[in-house]
Amino acid sequence: MNSSTALSLATFIYGLATVFYIGHFAFKKNKLATAGFWVLVAAFVLNTAGIGLRWVESYQMGYGHAPFSNMYESLVFFSWTMALLYIFVEVKYKEQGFGVFVSPLIFLAIAYASFDPGISSKISPLIPALKSNWLIAHVITCFLGYAGFAVAFGFSLIYFVKPKQTAENTFLGRLPSWDVIDELTYQMVVFGFLFLTIGIITGAVWANSAWGKYWSWDPKETWSLITWFVYAIFMHLRLMRGWHGKNLALVSIVGFAAVLFTYFGVNFLLSGLHSYA
């Protein structure tokens, strides 16, 4: 098996997991959620294998670099981090009702990588600016941050689907309660915030060793800082102003919009130093 087969299979199986979770949401069968979980784990294993194989293949081709160097590789890794975080949350908090809101995001990222003709999946050599030990630390931390915010975004959506008071046995009653969503959204934002902070910092230290400036107000840097500001606002509103529920969920959604713009918008709409991913 080579990396592209593994990743195509992973895409397909993530899609299957999404179908199971949607089925659970629609038909209220717990077995479907359990099945969804195990299918998701299987896809995650393939995703991991795909990334690992791609790493090995790049060495075989003589380029030898971690698979974090372009849009395709970053999207595949983004799915991987989201899946990892989601699996952790489901195992730790034993809540299955979230799956329907998160699994589509995991599937969409990797599917976008595979199906958009504008995104090349070719393994290409590293340009000089990317040849640094900071590459791995920077990419991993940034994408763990993005994943935290993506999962928080999925959780925040529940507020707009489920009313605060719902009878236990109704269609929406099986979704987690507002208290649980509130707590978990916060946990995910906190996780994302810590890793985004480390991601920006590793990026700054790297920029200082590559270009001699730790901060140059490049669009990517600026947008990551804007994202950081939005989530800093989120924390202050929640911890110091007592915001909860829908209002706070809106801030989390705005924050995720900023994440998406930092990730995609900057590359497609603005120009700057950070043109690889």
Partner 1 sequence: MKNQDTIPRQIWEFFCSVKLTVYTLVLLAVTSIIGTVVLQNGTPQQYIDLYGKGGYNLIQVFSIDDMYHAWWFLFLLLLLCINIVVCSVERLSLVWKTIFPKQIRFNPDRFLRSKKKHTFFVDQAADAVTAACESWLSKQVGKVHKKNQENTWMVYAEKGRWTRIGVFVVHASVLLLLLGALIGAVFGFKANVRIDEGKQVGTVFAAKTRQPIQLDFLIRCNEFAVKFYDTGAPEEFRSNLTIIEDGQETLTTDIRVNHPLRYKGINIFQSSYGTTSAGAAVMAITDNISGQKITRTMQVGETITLPEETGSFQLQGFLPHFDFRGRNLGEAFFGKVTLKEKEAFQIGLPLQFPTFDKMRKGRFSFVVTDFEKKYYTGLQVTKDPGVWYVYAGFVLMILGCWVTFFMSHQSFLVAVAPSKDGGTIVHLAGRTNRSTQNLNLKLTGMATRLENQFKKGESI
What are the residues binding partner 1 (CB under 8 A)? 63, 92-93, 124-125, 127-129, 131-132, 180, 183-184, 186-187, 190-191, 193-194, 197-198, 201, 204-206, 208-215, 217, 219, 222-223, 225-226, 229-230, 232-233, 236-237, 240-241, 258, 266, 270
Helix ranges (H only) for the chain are 3-27, 30-60, 71-93, 99-115, 134-157, 178-210, 219-241, 245-260, 266-269
Residue with tokens 């179908």: 19
- Tell me how far, at minimum, the Cβ of 219 lies from partner 1, in Å: 4
Q: Which is nearer to partner 1, 204 or 250 (CB)?
A: 204
Q: Which is nearer to partner 1, 41 or 204 (CB)?
A: 204
- Tell me how far, at minimum, the Cβ of 232 lies from partner 1, in Å: 6
Q: Which is nearer to partner 1, 41 or 210 (CB)?
A: 210
Q: Distance from first CA to last CA of the chain, Å, rounded?
A: 27
CB environment 95-109: b (16+ within 10 A), e (fewer): bbbbbbbbbbbbbbb
- Tell me how far, at minimum, the Cβ of 27 lies from partner 1, in Å: 28
For the record, the structure tokens of 204 come out as 């700054």
Q: Which is nearer to partner 1, 41 or 205 (CB)?
A: 205
- Tell me how far, at minimum, the Cβ of 268 lies from partner 1, in Å: 13
- Per-residue DSSP letter, 262: I
- Tell me how far, at minimum, the Cβ of 52 lies from partner 1, in Å: 24
Do the beta carbons of residue 86 and residue 103 sit within 8 Å? yes
Q: Which is nearer to partner 1, 8 or 187 (CB)?
A: 187
CA distance 214 to 263: 20
Residue type, 139: V
C-alpha neighbours within 13 Å on the C-beta side of residue 202: 18
- Tell me how far, at minimum, the Cβ of 255 lies from partner 1, in Å: 10
- Per-residue DSSP letter, 159: G
Q: Which is nearer to partner 1, 10 or 188 (CB)?
A: 188
